[in-house]
Amino acid sequence: MGVDAAVKVDELHERGFSGLKFHIPKDRYDAENFFPVYEKAQNYDMPCLFHTGVVCLPEPAPEERISSFNMNCIHLEAVAQAFPELKIIIAHLGVQDYLTALTLIRIFDNIYADLSGSTPGWRANLSMDDWKKLLWFPNAHEKILFGTDVHFSEIGSSIKIYEEIATTVGWNIEMKQNMYYNNSKKLLKTRK
């Protein structure tokens, strides 16, 4: 964001991409100069995954002027209101702003979140009792998506964390299937 113009969405759609991921934007996610990108994504029905939380770079890049503030999930509130049909996914449940992320997915029909992160990563700061308090709302199982960004050797550990959270909050098999598969299926169109 802030490097490619909205025409890039046309190109990616034509190439068969079903969704978009945004990270390290040059401005806040709710900057109006990004709105043409969101409008195209909404028109193409392409879900958008937004990286949220602090960026952990492999090495410093001061010339890039990276600001994790630009990726704060609260900036998605204005995007969700301006583009009510845009399917928004908050990556990493906002990390340090997980309470804000949970509020957003609870009150906006078009906002979802995943719980991805390194193993155990940011989730290590939360106990299973915390998860009971956080995922209290009735349709939480319809708003959480399985996602992972770990090395394939850690996927089993990542699934174990999701499974422990879902079991702790009392989700039955159908609710777990929503998290693991059905919610993503609902968001992503199958393209020929």
Residue 156's domain is classified under what CATH number? 3.20.20.140
Nearest one of 184, 185, 161, 182 to 173, comparing CA atoms = 182
| Cα three-residue angle 70-73-79, rounded to 5 degrees | 85
Q: How many domains does the chain have?
A: 1
Residue 126 domain-assigned?
A: yes
Residue 192 domain-assigned?
A: no
pLDDT for 192 equals 46
Mean pLDDT, residues 39-65 = 89
Q: In which order are the strands placed within the sheet that holds 111-114? A: 20-22, 48-50, 88-90, 111-114, 144-145
Mean pLDDT, residues 56-77 = 87
Residue 105 domain-assigned?
A: yes
pLDDT for 176 equals 98
Mean pLDDT, residues 158-185 = 96
pLDDT for 39 equals 98
Give the separation between CA 78 and CA 191, rounded to whole angstroms: 29
What percent of the chain is modeled with pLDDT above 70?
98
pLDDT for 191 equals 52
Q: pLDDT band at residue 19, thresholds of 50, 70 and 90?
A: very high
Full domain range(s) for residue 11: 7-187
pLDDT digits (tens, 9 = 90+) for 160-171: 999 999 999 999
Residue 28 domain-assigned?
A: yes
Give the separation between CA 67 and CA 55, rounded to whole angstroms: 8
Q: pLDDT band at residue 17, thresholds of 50, 70 and 90?
A: very high
Residue 146 domain-assigned?
A: yes
Residue 118 domain-assigned?
A: yes
Residue 2 domain-assigned?
A: no
Nearest one of 126, 144, 140 to 170, comparing CA atoms = 140
Residue 97 domain-assigned?
A: yes
Give the range among 55-69, 109-123, 147-161 with minimum mean pLDDT. Answer: 55-69
Model confidence at 16: pLDDT above 50: yes
Q: What is the pTM of this model?
A: 0.94
